[in-house]
Chains A and B, each alone.
Chain A
Amino acid sequence: MTPATSLTGPRPRHLLDFQGWTPERLNALLDNADTMAQVLDRPVKKVPALQGLTVCTAFFENSTRTRTSFELAARRMSADVMTFAAGSSSVSKGESLRDTMEVLTAYKVDAYIVRHHAAGAAHLVARYSGKPVINAGDGRRAHPTQALLDAYTIRQEYGSLEGKRVAIIGDVRHSRVARSNAELLPKLGAEVVLCGPATLLPRDLAALPGVTVTSDPREAVRGAHAVMALRLQQERMNGGFLASLQEYADTYQVNEALMQHAESGAIVLHPGPMNRDLEISSDAADGKRSRILKQVENGQAVRMSVLYHLLVGRE
C-alpha cells in the first residue's frame, strides 16, 4: 500500500466528473481503495465509518451492476441505503427532476448517487440537493467511478499509471466511460489512445491533454500496457454509424491477434456488459490477460473510497 499523504486544498463536494480533483487527491482516493479492498477480504466485510448516514441511489436509467456495486459499497461502510428507481416512481407520472429531488431531500438523505440518461443531470441534482452527489453515469458525458476503477485496476497491475499507455477501442462516440477515462488517466500520468471507426470517433477528444485518436487499432495498441474494449451500443446504432457488425468485429474486435501488437504483459479491460465475439473475443475476455472480473471486484473498493472521501471529515 502506498503511504498516505496529507491532502492540501479544498475537498471537492461532489464527484460529477474530475473537475476540481487534483492528481494528489485522486491518488489518495486510490490509496484508500487499497484499504477498502483489505476490508472486503476479511471475515467481517464492513466498517462503521458511515454509520448513521443515509445514501440514496437515484437511478433514472436502468443499471444492475453499477447500482449493486454502489449499494454494497455504501452498506460495507455501514450507511443506510435508500433505493430510488425512476421506473416505479412519480417521474414516470411526469414529476420533474427538481421536484423529485426535493421529495428525496425531505427524507434526510446525506448523499446521492445519480444515474441519468441526460448529460448534466448529476450537476442539476448537485445544485438542488445541498448534499454530496456522485455521478453514476449521465448520458454520454461521464462515468467517473468506472474510470476510477479502471485506473485502480491498471495501477494494481503496474504500481503506477505514470508513463503507461492505455488504448480504448470501440464505440467512443457513445461512451461516457471513454470520456471519463480520457479525462482521468492523463491526470494520473498515463497516455490515452482512443480508437474506433471514424463514425464513432469524435475527433475533438484529441484536444484533451494526453489523448490521441486513431482509427487504426494496431497503431492504438502498439506499446499499450492496457487495452480496453468498449461495448458497441447497438441500441444507438440506428444512425448509420456502421456498414455491418461483422465488418466492425473484423477490424475493431479486441482479441488475442490484436493483443500481439501490445506490450507483452498488457492487460485487457472491459467496462461491461460485454457483447462477446463482437467488440471482444471470448479468448481475450476469458484469457490470462483479462482483468475484467477484477474490474468488477475493484469497483466496490473504489466506490467505498469515493464515499469515504466525500462523506467523512469536517465540512
Chain B
Amino acid sequence: MSAPKATILTADEVRRAMTRIAHEIIERNKGAENLALIGIHTRGIPLAERLAAKLSELEGVDIPTGMLDITLYRDDLSEVAHQPIIRETQVPFDLGQRRVILVDDVLYTGRTVRAALDALIDLGRPVGIQLAVLVDRGHRELPIRADYVGKNLPTASSEVVKVKLHETDGVDSVELWDLEDLK
C-alpha cells in the first residue's frame, strides 16, 4: 500500500496554523468587526468555520460564514470531469457591508480563486476581499497571492498536496504525495 512522502502538518500544527491566521486577520483588519468568512468547496468550508469560531473567541463578535461553489465559473469546465457536479452556494448575509475573507485549503494555480472571485462579485460587492489558505504550494498560473498562509510549501508539479480535515476526512493533517503513488 502506498504512503505519503511526508506529513507536512500534523493535527496540532493545523490547529496552530489556523490560530496564527486568525491573529493575523485581526491584526490586519484592526479587529473582526464587519468581517465575513466564505469557504470554497470542499475543505475551505470547515476551515472558514474554524476561523470564524476562533475569531469569535478572540474578539467576542459573531462572524458570519458562507459557502461558495465555483463550478459554474471554472475556465476548464469542458475538461475537468465527465459531468461536473454543482454543489451548494450559500451566502446568507449582505456582502455590501462586509470585508470578506475567502478561505481554501490549497492555493495552487490560482484558477480556483479566480473563479471564486468572479462568483463572489456576482453575489454582491463586498467592501474588500482577502484570501486565506492553509497551504500555498506555488505553481501560480495567474497573478493571485494569498493574504494569509498557514504553510508555504514549495512542491514539484509531480506532487500532490492532500489536506485532510476532521469534518470531511475524520482526521486533521497535510500530506505530500507523489502523483504516481496515487494512481
Contacts and interface: CB of A to CB of B under 8 A. Distances in A.
A95 B71 CA distance: 42
Interface in A1-59: 1, 3-7, 11, 28, 31-32, 35, 38-39, 42-44, 46-49
A177 B149 CA distance: 55
Interface string B46-80: 00000000000000000000000101110001111
A114 B51 CA distance: 51
Residue among B69, B72, B122 facing the most chain A CB atoms (10 A cut-off): B72
Contacts of A93: none
Question: A interface, how many residues as a size bin?
Answer: 20 to 34
A39 B78 CA distance: 21
B2 interface: no
A44 B122 contact: yes
Contacts of A11: 82-83
Contact of A314 (B79, B85, B118, B123): B79
Contacts of B118: 48
A47 B121 CA distance: 11
Contact of A49 (B77, B81, B89, B123): B77
B77 A312 contact: yes
A174 interface: no
A140 interface: no
B128 interface: no
A75 interface: no
Nearest to A304: B72
Nearest to A48: B73
A309 interface: yes
Interface in B107-124: 118, 122-124
Interface string B117-155: 010001110000000000000000000000000000000
A240 interface: no
A183 B88 CA distance: 29
Contacts of A7: 82-83, 85
A273 interface: no
B16 interface: no
Contacts of B85: 4-7, 28
A5 to B, nearest CB: 8
Contacts of A39: 72
A239 interface: no
Interface in A301-315: 308-309, 312-314
Contact of B78 (A42, A44, A313): A313
Nearest to B121: A44
Contact of A46 (B77, B80, B82, B122): B122
Contacts of A5: 85
A49 B122 CA distance: 13
B84 to A, nearest CB: 6
Nearest to A7: B83
A42 B82 contact: no
B86 interface: yes
B84 A47 contact: no
Given A48-B73, A48-B118, A313 B86 contact: no
Given A48-B72, A48-B73, A312 B84 contact: yes
B5 interface: no
Nearest to A1: B88
B45 to A, nearest CB: 13
B87 interface: yes
Given A35-B89, A38-B89, A49-B72, A314 B78 contact: yes
Contacts of B89: 35, 38
Q: 4 tightest CB-CB pairs across the interface, nearest first?
A: A47-B72, A44-B122, A4-B85, A49-B72
7 contacts: A7-B82, A28-B85, A31-B86, A46-B122, A49-B72, A308-B72, A314-B80
